[in-house]
Amino acid sequence: MSTAHEIFAGGTAVITGAASGIGEGLARHAAALGMNVVLADIDSSRVEAVAEELSSGGTRTLAMCTDVSDPHSVEVLAASAYEQFGSIRLLVNNAGVEAPGLFWEVPVERWHQLLSINVGGVVNCVHSFLPRMINAGEQAYVLNVSSIGGLSAGPLQSPYLTSKHAVLALSETLYLDVQAAGAPVQVSAVLPGAVRTRIYSSATGNGASGEGLRDQLDQYLSNGITPAQAAETILAQAADGAFWIGTQPEELTAFATYRAEHLAHLTPPAPFAPA
């Protein structure tokens, strides 16, 4: 097996949603592996602060205020990254948001906003970066961050879970398209479990039920692993060539097994319940 350092050291990583959470953890770990790091986020002040901290430790960085839902903003990110670093070895499509609440209590505008970020952001980044990666003719890696929820269903999370199922399907079909093209690009789907991020605490609950679930899930994440731990296991699995990447591999296996049995028996939707 190859180590992440052997695979990634000396290359350049582009990470969206890099100002906090898993994205920040990945940026810091990529820097520790010896990569140049392009940090993209809509939160310009925070992403610049993280980039400045990494730069002070000797990492070559580029901080970009990027709206992944805007194709032009993403194209500016790609052009700037290639202009400064010449090539990109690792692209992590991580930016994402939540909108807990009953399906019909989440405003249509919020639905569209979430889908444009969580799904559209991946589409935009793949369109801007993948052709450049293929043209370079060098081994490259594209990691799309779905969720353990991409293998399950649950109440009060319709927009988010819809988006994460979509990212998983997008990643599977992208993997096959890259294979069909014979391109030297590895595509992986990342399905995080409980990681200590602010995705729920920073979300706006929709209705009393949405606010309650937001607080409940925020508590659930507080008992998870750290973004640094998640980043280390994610890039280690990517270096080993995995398509399915879990921050807690045993949890990923449990969810996948549950999903497979659910589909095999065509049972009605039900949340995953640990045995």
Catalytically active residues are: 160
Residues in a beta bridge with 157: 101
Token look-up 């430790």 returns 57
Could you tell me which residues come within 8 angstroms of residue 80 by beta carbon, excluding any fewer than 6 positions away?
38, 62, 64
Instruction: Provide the CB-side half-sphere exposure for 224 (13 A, CA).
Output: 23
Task: Name the amino acid, one letter, at 103.
Answer: F
Which pairs count as long-range contacts for 200-203, CB under 8 Å and 24+ apart, including other chains? 200/98, 200/100, 203/97, 203/98, 203/99, 203/100
CA 19 – CA 41 distance, rounded (Å):
6
CA 255 – CA 96 distance, rounded (Å):
21
Express the helix, strand and coil content of the chain in percent, nearest 5 each.
55, 15, 30
Token look-up 């190859």 returns 2
Looking at the chain, the number of H-run helices and the number of E-run strands are 10, 7
CA 107 – CA 146 distance, rounded (Å):
23
